[in-house]
Amino acid sequence: MNQVLREEKKFLLSLPEFIRLSHRLSQVMQEDPHNGVHGYPIRSLYFDSIDDRDFHEKAAGVELRRKIRLRCYDPAADYAMLEMKQKQGANQLKRSLRLARADAARLAEGDYSPLLRYPEAFAAECYALMHSHLYRPKTIVEYNRKAFIAKENKIRITFDSRIVSTESCFDLFAPRLNMNPVLDPYDVVLEVKYNGFLLSYLRELINGVDRSELSVSKYVLARQNGYQTRL
């Protein structure tokens, strides 16, 4: 099991600002080895309780809250990551566990019993929470990410674009899904993640672009988009 505790800030950028800032960051930070030329794809299946507790707590700004998701980077992969993100004051705690493809597929169908076969305490915690609160798959969110890394302070800066979602199919490993746009295609979500403090030269670069702080998550944006689509 992996565990990361850090602060996280989100901003909304225009496409031109993304291009300018990513070019500047490429000169002072290391690129994620998975970036390639245009970044890499991410697909996440989000779960929530039967009464959408996590969605409503995030939308209401509740201080202590969580999100549970399955994440893969390629529908053909033989595994997925089960992740729980918990808001703790200014920090985000993210814990993750690698699941075999078959086990992840069963979770996507609402069967959480495969978690009982994993020895990690985190697996048992997720099973108890998802089973007792009747968690169910709610939406799949997919986007393209370009990421930069500064090892000095475990800083990670990411740009997420072409964000789309669906609530009509929860097959995480489907080669193709019928998706709807979550944001304008010319909008890019900037996420700045760091431990303790952000290095001054990176703060100056980020402050030099025209951006607005984003208080809602991709999960909330996707669910709101789903509500609007059903109306």
pLDDT, residue 228, reads 56
Q: How many other β-carbons are positioned within 10 Å of the β-carbon of residue 190?
A: 22
The mean pLDDT of 37-58, rounded to a whole number, is 93
pLDDT higher than 80, residue 61: no
pLDDT value of position 195:
86
Q: Which pLDDT belongs to residue 64?
A: 76
pLDDT band at 114 (very low <50, low <70, confident <90, very high): very high
Residue 104 pLDDT class (50, 70, 90 cuts): very high
The pLDDT score that the predictor gives to residue 1 is 79
Please give the pLDDT value at position 29: 95
pLDDT at 227: 56
* Residue 37, CB-side half-sphere exposure with 13 Å CA sphere: 0
Residue 201 near residue 28 (C-beta atoms within 8 A):
yes
CA dihedral over 181, 184, 185, 191, signed as positive or negative: negative
Q: Which helix (H) or strand (E) holds 225?
A: helix 218-230
The arithmetic mean of pLDDT across residues 189-195, rounded, is 93
Task: Quote the DSSP letter at residue 47.
Answer: E
If we measure between CA atoms, which residue out of 177, 149, 154 comes closest to residue 165? 177
Average pLDDT of the chain to the nearest whole number: 91
Percent of the chain with pLDDT over 90: 75
Query: How many residues appear in the chain?
Result: 231
Residue 18 CB coordination number (10 Å): 21
- Please report which residue ranges of 95-186 form alpha helices under DSSP H: 101-108, 121-132
Question: Is pLDDT at 162 greater than 90 in this prediction?
Answer: yes
Q: Report yes or no: 162 and 144 within 8 Å, Cβ to Cβ.
A: yes
Give the pLDDT mean for 1-6.
85
Distance of CA 217 to the CA centre of its chain: 8
